[in-house]
Amino acid sequence: MKLIIVDVNAAHKVFAKPPRKQWKDLQESLTRGKPFDVVAVHGGELTREYQGKELWQTCIELNRTGRMRLFKDSLVDGETQAVRNLGICKSNDTHVIALARVSHCRLLCSQDRSLQQDFKNQRLINPRGSVYGGNSHNHLLR
């Protein structure tokens, strides 16, 4: 099973109905477990961002079916402050870096270039993470 963080800026594309061609394999993996065994993770600020969007019902269903895993807000929020204190993030998404550290997830789906750089920064995430950018990156889901 592969863990992935779906940033809120990409979630509307990943969970679009009907699925967008570029994101279809990831969406099917998250909703049906095929063609890849993928589970999304969330917690802390990312959960709160999801709750403010139309996709929250999709998240509830994924949680219920085990295709999405919640990490305690208190753990993620505490780690978020630790990441902020490092002062080396280029993005304003320290909560996503914190979630990766708490969950040990090393795969990100995001369209935020600064966050992508942070996610690949070994000083923030060790071992450094990878970024999933659509079906052309399906090798990362294996």
| Residue of 43, 37, 44 lying closest to 65 (CA atoms) | 37
130 DSSP β-pair partners: 107
Could you tell me the residue range of the domain that residue 8 belongs to? 2-141
- Report the alpha-carbon distance of residue 96 to residue 21 in Å, rounded: 26
CATH classification of the domain holding 117: 3.40.50
17: pLDDT strictly greater than 90:
no
25: pLDDT strictly greater than 90:
yes
pLDDT, position 121: 98
pLDDT, position 76: 98
pLDDT tens for each residue of 85-99:
999 999 999 999 999
Which residues lie below 8 Å from residue 32, measured CB to CB, with a gap of 6+? none
8: pLDDT strictly greater than 90:
yes
What's the average model confidence in pLDDT over 103-117? 98
| Residue of 96, 93, 81 lying closest to 42 (CA atoms) | 96
Single pTM value for the model: 0.96
- When divided into structural domains, the chain yields a total of 1
18: pLDDT strictly greater than 90:
no
pLDDT tens for each residue of 32-79:
999 999 999 999 999 999 998 888 999 999 999 999 999 999 999 999
Alpha helix (H) residue ranges in 18-68: 24-32, 45-51, 56-65
Which residues lie below 8 Å from residue 42, measured CB to CB, with a gap of 6+? 5, 50, 59, 68, 69, 70, 71, 99
11: pLDDT strictly greater than 90:
yes
